[in-house]
Amino acid sequence: MALKDDVIRILRGPVTQRIRFIFAAPGGNVTIAPQTFEVVARAIDAGKVHVARPTDLAAGVAAQYNDVARTRADGTQVAADTIEVNSATGRINEGSVLHECLHCAYDLLKTGITAADEEASAYIVSSMYFRMTSVRHPRWNAEPHASGGRAADTLLAQYARGTAGIPRVGDLEWRVLRVAVMIHPTYLFPFSAQGNFALGPAISGGSYPHDG
């Protein structure tokens, strides 16, 4: 099966179909639901979004979504709207794929959202996937996933109670998760590998490009 087919399989799979939640953002509540991921699946099917194996991601980075084109270390180009992922098999990789696909969905839908909210919600998605597929917690207990797991638990508790409608992330857990994202070195200094220690958009209040 081609890599892109594996990604689509995850996006349309039974676990992803159960992921739904609401969180508060400055512009109003944001809802994540199976339809969010279907937008990405259709874009991949149509060739608007590309899936490729990366050659130069930083150590420990399993996947990445490129909303704009980027130049690899060897001078070659990665096109805009490309999901780079080493593997889309295995539960950890599948959760990472969903994390990046949420970034892609925000881009395609031109969602007005801060980088901190975007990253925090993506960590909830991958954490929910890990919980729902019974990945042992020691495999994903580093921050920001540790805080993402606690936020996911507030949602899954509502699932278990049969709460009507789409559940809302606990306010305290959401605030803690956002802080965990903002102070994490990956987001605090995202360009440090190039010797640039400018603050990233997650801590400065900025947003990622969302041009569809």
Q: What is the mean pLDDT of residues 38-57?
A: 94
More confident residue, 32 or 59: 32
Predicted TM-score of the model (pTM)? 0.95
| Structural tokens at position 54 | 């990366």
Q: What is the mean pLDDT of residues 102-118?
A: 97
pLDDT one-digit tens code per residue, 66-85 = 999 988 878 888 999 999 99
Q: How far apart are CA 23 and CA 170, in angstroms?
A: 8
pLDDT value at residue 60: 67
pLDDT value at residue 197: 76
Give the phi and the psi of residue 82 in degrees, each rounded to 5.
-120, 130
128: exposed, middle or buried (Cβ count in 10 Å: 0-12, 13-18, 19+):
buried
- DSSP H or E run through 63: strand 63-66
| Mean of all residue pLDDT scores within the chain | 93
Q: Which amino acid is at 129?
A: Y
pLDDT one-digit tens code per residue, 123-181 = 999 999 999 999 998 999 999 999 999 999 999 999 999 888 899 999 999 999 999 99
Q: How far apart are CA 68 and CA 104, in angstroms?
A: 11
